[in-house]
Structure 1
Amino acid sequence: MDHYISVIIPNHNGEGTIRQCLESAFSSQYDGFEVVVVDDGSTDGSVETIKKFPCKLIRLPERSGASMARNTGAQNSTGDILFFLDSDCVINEDTLGKINSAFNDTCLCVTARGQGGNNVIIGGTYSIAPYDKGFFNTFQSVFINYSETKKADNPDYIASHAMAIDAEAFRTSGGFNEDFLPIIEDVEFSHRLKKSGYRLIVIPGIEVGHIFNFSFVRSLGNAFRKSMYWTMYSLKNRDIFSDSGTASVELKINVFTYFLMLLLIVSWGISKQPVFLSLIPVTALANILLNRKLLIAYYRAKGMLFAFLSSIYYLFVYPVPVGLGAVAGMAGYLIKLKTQRH
């Protein structure tokens, strides 16, 4: 059975990426699909670019957030399968075909409640090689690919950069929470549906190439921002220590051991006790062992030199913005909690 797939793309000031995104969608080898783009109050030239493609364009009068844009796209779609795609992502020619095959696979579409494929959410992930080359882009793409596929049969969430769901099931669910944080609304959506009996599955072969355009500063800023909002959500959801995709146990251990080693250095500087220095290599080695699968993924992606540089960045630089973001997230959560109580 060939499903009719609605590709839903929220766009806000995506002038630099929306052309590549739409070109990839309309290069699909799969015939039964439509593209619905919801412009979320853009002020750049992206709308003019979108108008050059044979897609359905819906314009929101003002910026309302990705959740409302996706929900609006779903409400104005005609497909029986919805495929959510970000405006800075590109799909492969066979991506939609793989989604169709996945929903026809009866083994995949048996849920915890024993019902049919309308109660399954199928996800893809970033390709190992990003759309745009460069160290920080590849570092991030490998990190996300590894994190989102290591528990493919039972992931904690499905990311909205490549999320496919039965259209009727989506509408019944109430869609994405429009009164939520600026990001990770897909995590909240996945958790909510998982609790109500939906099965989540990641199919590694469903890949999208992400256009990162990361520099050193942008990479650090992205890590800080995601850590901050994820911490705020996790504290409220009481799953701060869970192994949740890119908010993985490995990353949390990496951040903890980094600041533990800083504490050991400070303790040695104050006390001059050699025991503090002796604990540093032991702590570092334990961290490497616990994160070895990710470090191996970097090696498999681009060889020894890239793995070495990625390991240095991940182990000794990346924990700083993630840790600071977590502290900011805790502060934001406590401030909001105090405000609500008053």
Structure 2
Amino acid sequence: MQKASGWPEVSIIVPVHNGGESFRKCLQSLNQWALERAEVIVVADGASDGSWQLAEPFGAKLIRLPETQGPARARNIGAEAAEADILFFVDADVTIHPNTVDGVIRAFQANPELAALIGSYDDAPGATNFLSQYKNLFHHYTHQGGHEEASTFWGACGAVRREIFLSLGGFDQRFRKPCIEDIELGYRLKQAGYQIRLCKAIQVKHLKHWTPYSLLRADIFYRALPWTALLLQLRQTDPQQYQQVSRDLNLKSSSRLSVVLVYAAIASLLFVWWWPTALLGAGLLSLVLVLLNWPVYRFFYQQRGFWFALGVIPWHWLYYFYSGLAFAIGHLRYQIWGYQLAKG
């Protein structure tokens, strides 16, 4: 089922750093659903738990890095070693579906002008605790409601033509943590005039177990702050592209308005001590916030029921709160130190 030349149709690149049980499940799914049509390249990014030893028995090509350099560097090294024309990047904590790889191949075959594509998490996250279900289902909802003409890339389930990827220099290796290196690559792809598609039917299952600490750390320090700096730089260097990306995925106008409503409701509560009627204002603002985000809460209700959807609301509002705070802090940092600080 490979090309006549013997080359694989797609090279799957998996960076891993202490992947544990999730990485083993990732390899199992690749072994079951991908090896017939793809080469699998595992780049062990300075792993110390020995999980890299799982790769070779599963038929993967293994590249070991002596020290941790970050997933951006690991993916680039895997891309350089790849033999196929299509690079499919998969995180070590996801499993693919039976039709995932075929979906990637068909998408590029059907559209010769397509430079890159991204998929979506499915609606059945692997970890069963509330935060993991909420976080990963929210990601699924966001991608399923996104524009098919995408303005960004996604390293957990994203494919790109190898020639184009290498011509752009790959991922920015100054990102030393799992950060926004994939988003930044997507912006460069668009600036170069290439097409990126959001293929909603190409899905993977996310296995990550989220805790309050890991969620807040990732969302604030690895996403919101560096993403703010990237957007501010983009606004300065390419206002037209900034206008395009500011309407996609997490940056829709409804999300920005929700941030304003959350802070207005908090301000109203602070004034209740002096003006009791401010409580009514906070209640009205909260009602507007619920109505504005009703499609989100209806989705969670349909997926997990009433009580789960009710539990989502405070976490969703907290998300708007720290997103707004991170934007303010990121804006201040950008004005003082510029974009470089966000990559450290």
Please say if 1:213 is aligned against 2:209.
yes
CA distance in 2, matches of 1:138, 1:59: 32
CA distance in 2, matches of 1:55, 1:323: 42
Provide Cα deviations, 1:152-178, integer angstroms capped at 9, x if missing partner: 422231211111112222222221111
**Equivalent in the alignment of 1:201:** 197
Could you tell me whether the CA contact under 8 Å between 1:128 and 1:142 is conserved in 2? Answer: yes
**Equivalent in the alignment of 1:336:** 337
Relative to structure 1, the CA distance from residue 248 to residue 129 in structure 2 (aligned partners, 3 Å threshold; closer, same or farther) is farther
**Equivalent in the alignment of 2:134:** 139
Could you tell me whether the CA contact under 8 Å between 1:84 and 1:164 is conserved in 2? Answer: yes
How far off its partner does 1:181 sit? Answer: 6.5
CA distance in 1, matches of 2:204, 2:324: 28
Match of 2:300 among 295, 298, 301: 298
Moved more, 213-222 or 7-16: 213-222
Match of 1:314 among 299, 313, 316: 316
Please say if 1:264 is aligned against 2:264.
no
Moved more, 139-148 or 301-310: 301-310
Please say if 1:14 is aligned against 2:24.
no
Q: Which runs of 5+ in 2 are unaligned?
A: 236-241
Could you tell me whether the CA contact under 8 Å between 2:230 and 2:339 is conserved in 1? Answer: no
Relative to structure 1, the CA distance from residue 279 to residue 85 in structure 2 (aligned partners, 3 Å threshold; closer, same or farther) is same
* TM-score, normalised with respect to structure 2: 0.86
Equivalent residue letter for 1:256: V
Equivalent residue letter for 1:176: F
**Equivalent in the alignment of 1:39:** 44
CA distance in 1, matches of 2:70, 2:102: 29
Please say if 1:186 is aligned against 2:190.
no
**Equivalent in the alignment of 2:115:** 120
Identity %: 28
CA distance in 2, matches of 1:249, 1:220: 23
How far off its partner does 1:253 sit? Answer: 2.9
Root-mean-square deviation (Å): 2.5
Could you tell me whether the CA contact under 8 Å between 2:146 and 2:248 is conserved in 1? Answer: no
Relative to structure 1, the CA distance from residue 45 to residue 297 in structure 2 (aligned partners, 3 Å threshold; closer, same or farther) is same
Could you tell me whether the CA contact under 8 Å between 1:122 and 1:163 is conserved in 2? Answer: yes
**Equivalent in the alignment of 1:242:** 246
Relative to structure 1, the CA distance from residue 306 to residue 180 in structure 2 (aligned partners, 3 Å threshold; closer, same or farther) is same
Match of 1:228 among 207, 219, 225: 225
Could you tell me whether the CA contact under 8 Å between 2:147 and 2:248 is conserved in 1? Answer: no
Relative to structure 1, the CA distance from residue 76 to residue 184 in structure 2 (aligned partners, 3 Å threshold; closer, same or farther) is same
Relative to structure 1, the CA distance from residue 68 to residue 254 in structure 2 (aligned partners, 3 Å threshold; closer, same or farther) is same
